[in-house]
Amino acid sequence: MSLDKFFNKINGLKVIIVGDVMLDSYSFGKIERNSPEAPVPIVDVIKKESRIGGAANVALNIKSLGGIPYLFSCIGDDHYGKIFLDLLEKKNISTDYIIIDPKRKTTVKERIIVKKNHVLRVDDENTNNLSKIFQEKLIEKVIKLSKKCDLLIIQDYEKGLLNKNFINDIIKNLKNKITIAVDPKFKNFKFYNNIDLFKPNLIESCKGFNLNIKTISTKKIGLVAQKYLIKNKIKFIMITLSENGILIVDKKSISHFKIKSKNIVDVSGAGDTVIAIASLCIYLSTSIPFLCNISNLAGKIVCQSSGVVPISKSKLYNEAKENELIKEA
């Protein structure tokens, strides 16, 4: 498959995204003085901005790449929830599958940015499990819509939407019927099985596999991941290693794809971009080198911007064409 054909095949793919969503709020400013009240700097705010984050950023990446995202999640009946819905509508992402729970608050991550540097983050959230009634509503809607879709991405941020029963019900009903990709966190790590792609990062992998991150080698992680993959009936485990690239494992092989990273400004949201592009590659059955190299490239591109941003399809395409590691898909 040529690079052009790959990018054309993405267009119009219908993708369900299930996961925790949040409002990413940014205050951009400057520091010129310290507070007389405490030994801390004062940030003079120049600009404020809100963006959709979490699973919503995965949906935004799918849309940016040419797919059609269907986002399933839950927000609170509050001011920030209204802002979140308005932003979804402005990005032409359907709000039909967003449940509003008056007993929850919309997750907000407030970031303070000075000279492109992330100096502080304040989280305002409710991480209790979603009520059983709302869980059942979401599961029923996901299963119904899945009959018309190509791919399911589960994006777990440990904010309460996903738990063992929710995950088991979704996978039990949809395994072998739709391509399933998962970006996990530690709490639900061991509940994901019978899936096509499992994409933890290095920290999540070491916690999930019970390994010491300070002493573990890439080779050892690969071997442990391979045993885990076979035991849990996972087709591919893809471990993101930050500036060290990607480790990918299947039943027969363990491969490490490195990356030349430069001009890294902010890693926020890079995992959302990587799970989006990697899932599309799995669905389209690209080669493993293509999957990992284009995922590395996509992650690197978004890390060159401040804050959570989706990938630009045209920028990814143009840089992929110039990349000697990315040839046939």
Query: Cα 42 from chain centroid?
Result: 33
Output the pLDDT for position 265.
Answer: 56
Where does residue 295 rank: exposed (0-12), middle (13-18), buried (19+ CB within 10 A)?
buried
Q: What is the pLDDT of residue 263?
A: 61
Rounded CA gap, 198 and 75, in Å? 26
Q: What is the DSSP letter of 201?
A: B
Q: Write out the two tokens for 225.
A: 């991941």
d(CA 74, CA 92): 18
Residue with the two structure tokens 């990018």:
7
Q: What angle do CA 34, 37, 41 make, to 5 degrees?
A: 25
Q: Which residue of the set 101, 150, 266, 272 is catalytic? A: 272
Please give the chain's pLDDT, 329 residues, in tens: 888 899 999 999 999 999 999 999 999 999 999 999 999 999 999 999 999 999 999 999 999 999 999 999 999 999 999 999 999 999 999 999 999 999 999 999 999 999 888 899 999 998 999 999 999 999 999 999 999 999 999 999 999 999 999 999 999 999 999 999 999 999 999 999 999 999 999 999 999 999 998 888 999 999 999 999 999 999 999 999 988 899 999 999 999 998 876 666 556 678 899 999 999 999 999 999 999 999 999 998 888 776 678 899 999 999 998 887 777 76
Tell which residue, 329, 325, 327, 319, has the closest CA to residue 298: 319
* Interatomic CA distance for residues 142 and 151, integer angstroms: 11
Nearest Cα neighbor of 273 from 26, 108, 111, 65 is: 65
Structure-token match 């088991």, residue found: 168
Domain boundaries of the chain, sorted by first residue: 3-322
Check: CB of residue 304 under 8 Å from CB of residue 265: yes
pLDDT at 323: 81
Structure tokens, 71: 């986002």
Q: What is the pLDDT of residue 6?
A: 94
Which residues, other chains included, contact 112 with Cβ-Cβ below 8 Å and sequence gap of 6+? 27, 29, 43, 118, 119, 120, 121
User: Alpha-carbon distance 291 to 280, whole Å?
Assistant: 9
Which residue's entry shows tokens 């490239």? 297
* Residues pairing with 29 in the sheet: 45, 114
What's the pLDDT score for residue 305? 74
Task: Measure CA of the first residue to CA of the last residue in the chain; give whole Å.
Answer: 5
Residue type, position 283, single letter: Y
pLDDT number for residue 271: 87
Q: What's the CATH number for 3-322?
A: 3.40.1190.20
Closest CA to 226 of 245, 191, 207, 198: 198
Triad 295, 301, 302: Cα angle to 5°: 95
Active site (annotated) includes residue 44: no
